[in-house]
Structure 1
């Protein structure tokens, strides 16, 4: 069936016809397409259209879609079963890879999603410190658990509801929301809540509000401030972990958080999450300690096998150098075309991630990100989609590149995006 028929069927049975809100295309107009297959850098829709994909499953597909090495790893694991509900060898190997690649992680616990990982890290920070309050940053998205779905990015921001119905006010009162890149706000929050802040959680490069880089020295300042106050510093690297470097942003910035949350790439395209960090904090988890966390499918052998294969393909740092070159090529093409057209825009890019803000203001926090012209972005999105390039259907999401985007495909995508910009 074609996408329009599938969407009509879905709307009768699934809220909004989608299983994750941003897929609904509400902020860019039109109806979503349905995908029946994906290979390399392209998607094949139910309507038999081929699209160059810069969403990459929202980050996990760093090697492109349906990579043969990852597919073979899943098939081999599948031959032995789909789930055991017991410890399995794959989860031990995954833990060894993570703790080798991410030096701040001494011990790690697997779970099933990024939301589970961040939710569990917050609980662990509270259990370790005996404190209740959490600091997060406006525009940073950490999944949809109650404590963290407050002034969030990603789909919550896209649909104009940064705060979700169903989150009790008493929960929200324990979450302090600050502007990103504001040192004075951080200092004031700690002064106003002495010995009360259990943890600070952030995307070190916020990427659910586009893509924002921290000011020079900001992450170092945050690390020093949290250490001074005995507060657990949590880096949410669900998106950036293993995408920008094997050790994530913390490797790039030379910052050591107390806890780190992971997801996406470590599942090789299957559902996954993980959180880890200092051994003395992690040992507060059950069965060693009093902080409870569990999951029937945690460490699922298929997800672990896929993730191990994906990580081993990144063992050579040349993969990151190749991805960075592709990212720079796209950034140069898009930024150059926008400048030539005389359109005020910011095109931040790091490694294999980038986004386009249609604003003349440098973007360094949620407030400046929201100066982007969302209607102009929607026109740009639809123009690219019409010509065969799929960008995230939101003005507040990052784009992703995979190793499969090399050669003619990246050249074609850049040509399409620059041609569309000429029509804006």
Structure 2
């Protein structure tokens, strides 16, 4: 699904790592560039020593990135003694596309549009859960979200043990099949007892979201 971090928890982890000389690493492969500039670390105001990124920074072109504080990065070759290489490291196409993506997300309108789309989509789906009397809700942050069929309480879905007890796998499968029949695609994890993380892009328009909600409304009628 989509589990939002807890700022106070991340702050305490940062403090413990700093106190004990431990390198703090953030995995931002999924959340990187999905919301406001700075990604999760900028959003929460908690900064690691190293970060990993991929997916969104390439705008569809395969690319991955490891970055961090200079005192760590300078230990890698060619500046330092640690060998770090890969078959496609520094591939020109991926790097060039990544730079263009950075330019795009730096535009002042970009994340305003992402958040507007998110509010409309997530709020609309939650309204449909209530309208049709179907247990469940949507949890999302920025352009990533999860649909929790069978889970009534948004305050407990962060507890995977609790989610696995209440998550309705069969209803989720019926929803995904109904969506495909109506020209919508939602990510699918098979019979996993928890929701897949789904997403949208800057290319999705207001009209796209309106049509999506209309079709989900129709799906929910059949589920009910």
Give the structure-1-normalised TM-score: 0.49
After superposition, give the CA deviation of every residue in 1:142-170 in whole Å (9 maximum; x if it has no partner).
xxxxxxxxxxxxxxxxxxxxxxxxxxxxx
The one-character-per-residue Cα deviations of 1:18-50 (angstroms, maximum 9, x if unpaired) are: xxxxxxxxxxxxxxxxxxxxxxxxxxxxxxxxx
Q: Which residue of 1 aligns with 2:183?
A: 388
Residue aligning to 1:403: 202
Unaligned runs of 5+ residues in structure 1 are 1-209
Contact 1:266 1:304 in 2 (8 A): no
Structure with the larger helix share: 2
2:164 aligned with 1:370: yes
Matches within 5 A, 1:25-424: 210-358=1-149, 359-361=151-153, 362-371=156-165, 372-394=167-189, 395-424=194-223
- SS of 1:391's partner is coil
Deviations 1:189-217 (A, max 9, x none): xxxxxxxxxxxxxxxxxxxxx10112351
**Are the aligned partners of 1:226 and 1:232 in contact in 2 as well (CA < 8 Å)?**
yes
CA distance in 2, matches of 1:287, 1:404: 39
Distance 1:269 1:342 in 2: 38
When the two chains are superposed, the root-mean-square deviation of aligned CA atoms in Å is 1.6
Query: 1:335-368 CA deviation, whole Å, 9 max, x = no partner?
Result: 1111222222131121222111121342114323
Paired residue total: 215
- The 3 A distance-change label for structure 1 pair 221 and 304 is same
Higher RCO structure, 1 or 2 (CA under 8 Å, sep 6+):
1
Q: CA deviation at 1:220?
A: 1.0
Q: 1:280 Cα shift?
A: 0.7
The structure with the larger Rg is: 1
In structure 2, relative to structure 1, the CA distance for the partners of 1:365 and 1:285 (3 Å cut) is: farther
Alpha-carbon contact 2:35-2:141 (below 8 Å) kept: yes
Q: Distance in 2 between the 1:281 and 1:366 partners?
A: 34
TM normalised by structure 2 equals 0.89
| CA-CA distance at 1:219 after TM superposition | 1.0
Maintained 8 Å contact 1:387/1:416: yes
**In the alignment, is the contact (CA less than 8 A) between 1:285 and 1:293 conserved in 2?**
yes
